């Protein structure tokens, strides 16, 4: 999947839009990502893949994840869950039928059988309780450890973990950190997330606190596991309304930041974001859009490549900020602090100064200063409180499994620093 920088223009910035269209020769509205090869990946090697899939399905049946008497998930769902080709799933099902662990009638979905019973002969299985493993005092915390290096008080993930750990310890529980190991992205991370979720269930963990990175890939799996043990999601909603969630109100936070710049007099405010469908990124963009629309200001959303190298070209961003002084944006609202760092660096290469030429803001408050020590204005996420609330929510569900799922959005705190001073010029000129 090749991802390209793009720009979305809805209203209010006709001069910028006309100039960019002239430069690039095409309409720049709503540029999407596309597959550069347009080919379908060949199925994996059946022998190795089917053995792995068979072992996984066998373990789930033996552990009670798939209960006796219930239908096995569809081939499509299993293929997506295990990130394998459907042929691999068919081969695994055939093997489990031969072993007597499942039964399958022609043109029907397989039914889980009691290990050791003659399911092939009867075509049915005796029902048993869904849960086979006792709950324990262990709670799985599935997340990435964070990049590190620039944060003042530790990574956001570390700050969440230690607050979760303290709360659980006071209640007699123990947090087990299941690290996703590297910067989360792509199919490999989806597989690792699924493996950790299954591990927590299969090994009798009392509950799971999960910071998902692959967004929709494991949505159904999260729902399934949340029906068996308590699950609390952090930052991103992937399981629907019936799964607990704790995060910040990203929409309101970005609305407030954009409104702050509008009150300072800025009328051409660019929003620099990533080409990423996840809930926080989209909600922040909507907050920006609502603020500039309400003020009648220019609306300019510039997307940058997701997961690219810091030295990759940003041609549209550069074209926007090379416009004459009276036409280019006077402020840039960035989707997070790291994006603000990259924006400041690229503005410098264009000969523009922060904040004299362009005021910029970030989000998260994990990187307090830009290169050179200039303080970065940002919306501070209450990471410690997020961890505390997530742990408290999980404990409530451990004490009372029938508790209704909760959706908790905490306010972010605006932190004003030197990157957004009161303008000493007329931004609207």
As annotated, the residues of the chain forming the CATH 3.40.50.2300 domain(s) are 6-33+250-381, 138-246+383-406
Q: Give the count of beta carbons closer than 10 Å to the beta carbon of residue 197.
A: 25
| Most confident range, picked from 32-41, 57-66, 98-107, 161-170 | 161-170
Report the C-alpha gap between 131 and 366 in whole angstroms: 41
222-241: b (≥16 Cβ within 10 Å) or e: bebbbebbbbbbbbbbbbee
Least confident interval from 215-219, 226-230, 310-314: 310-314
Q: What is the torsional sign of CA 411, 415, 420, 422?
A: positive
Indicate if the alpha-carbon torsion angle 3, 246, 196, 225 is positive or negative. Answer: negative
Q: What is the pLDDT of residues 264-306, one digit of tens each?
A: 999 999 999 988 778 899 999 999 999 999 999 989 999 887 6
pLDDT of amino acid 135: 53
102-103 and 111-112 strand pairing: antiparallel
Higher-pLDDT residue of 106 and 254 is 254
How far apart are alpha carbons 157 and 364 in whole angstroms?
A: 12
Average pLDDT over residues 357-370: 94
**Is 46-122 a CATH 1.10.10.10 domain?**
yes
Q: Does the structure show a pLDDT above 80 at 21?
A: no
pLDDT computed for residue 139 by the predictor: 95
User: SS3 letters for the chain?
Assistant: CECCCEEECCCCCHHHHHHHHHHHCCCCCCCCCECCCCCCCCCCCHHHHHHHHHHHHHHHHHHCCCCCCCECCCHHHHHHHHCCCHHHHHHHHHHHHHHCCEECCCCCCCEECCCCCCHHHHCCCCCCCCCCCCCCCEEEEEECCCCCCCCCCCCHHHHHHHHHHHHHHHCCCEEEEEECCCCCCHHHHHHHHHHHHHHHHHCCCCEEEECCCCCCCCHHHHHHHHCCCCEEEECCCCCCCCCEEEEECHHHHHHHHHHHHHHCCCCEEEEEEECCCCHHHHHHHHHHHHHHHHHCCEEEEEEECCCCCCCCCCHHHHHHHCCCCCCCCCEEEECCHHHHHHHHHHHHHCCCCCCCCCEEECCECCCCECCCCCECEEEECCHHHHHHHHHHHHHHHHHCCCCCCCEEEECCEEECCCCCCCCCCCCCC
CATH topology of domain 138-246+383-406: Rossmann fold (3.40.50)
Tell me, what's the pLDDT at 386?
Answer: 98
CA–CA–CA angle 324, 327, 331 (5° rounding): 105
Alpha carbon distance 145, 157 (integer Å): 6
> Tell me, what's the pLDDT at 12?
57
CA angle 226, 214, 130 (to 5 degrees): 20
* Superfamily of structural domain 6-33+250-381: Response regulator (3.40.50.2300)
Any idea which of 84-93, 242-251, 254-263, 379-388 has the lowest mean pLDDT?
A: 84-93
Where do the CATH 1.10.10.10 domains begin and end in the chain?
A: 46-122
């Amino acid at each position: 999947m090749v991802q390209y920088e793009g720009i979305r223009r809805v209203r209010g910035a006709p001069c910028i839009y006309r100039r960019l269209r002239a430069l690039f020769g095409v309409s720049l509205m709503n540029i999407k990502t596309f597959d550069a090869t347009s080919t379908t990946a060949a199925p994996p090697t059946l022998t190795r893949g089917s053995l792995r899939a068979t072992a996984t399905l066998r373990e789930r049946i033996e552990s009670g994840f798939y209960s006796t008497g219930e239908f096995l998930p569809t081939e499509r769902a299993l293929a997506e869950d295990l990130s394998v080709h459907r042929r691999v799933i068919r081969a695994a099902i055939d093997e489990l039928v031969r072993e007597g662990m499942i039964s399958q009638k022609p043109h029907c979905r397989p039914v889980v059988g009691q290990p050791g019973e003659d399911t092939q002969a009867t075509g049915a299985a005796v029902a048993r309780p869904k849960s086979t493993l006792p709950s324990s005092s262990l709670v799985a915390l599935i997340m990435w450890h964070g990049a590190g290096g620039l944060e003042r008080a530790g990574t956001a993930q570390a700050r969440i973990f230690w607050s979760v750990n303290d709360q659980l310890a006071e209640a007699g529980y123990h947090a087990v950190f299941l690290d996703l190991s590297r910067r989360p992205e792509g199919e490999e991370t989806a597989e690792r997330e699924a493996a950790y979720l299954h591990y927590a269930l299969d090994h009798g963990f009392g509950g799971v606190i999960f910071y998902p990175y692959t967004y929709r890939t494991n949505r159904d799996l999260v729902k399934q596991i949340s029906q068996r043990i308590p699950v609390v999601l952090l930052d991103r909603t992937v399981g629907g309304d019936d799964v607990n969630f704790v995060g910040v109100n990203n929409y309101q936070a970005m609305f407030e930041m954009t409104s702050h710049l509008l009150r300072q007099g800025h009328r051409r405010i660019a929003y620099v974001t990533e080409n990423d469908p996840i809930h926080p990124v989209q909600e922040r963009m909507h907050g920006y859009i609502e603020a500039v629309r309400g003020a009648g200001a220019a609306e300019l959303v510039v997307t940058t490549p997701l997961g690219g190298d810091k030295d990759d070209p940003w041609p549209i961003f550069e074209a926007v900020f090379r416009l004459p002084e009276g036409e280019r944006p006077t402020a840039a609202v960035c989707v997070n602090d790291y994006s603000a760092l990259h924006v400041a660096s690229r503005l410098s290469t264009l000969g523009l100064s922060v904040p004299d030429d362009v005021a910029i803001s970030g989000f998260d408050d994990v990187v307090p200063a830009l290169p050179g020590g200039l303080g970065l204005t940002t919306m501070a996420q209450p990471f410690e409180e997020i961890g505390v609330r997530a742990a408290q929510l999980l404990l409530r569900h451990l004490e009372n499994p029938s508790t209704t799922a909760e959706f908790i959005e905490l306010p972010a705190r605006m932190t004003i620093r030197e990157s957004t001073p009161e303008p000493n010029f007329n931004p609207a000129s």
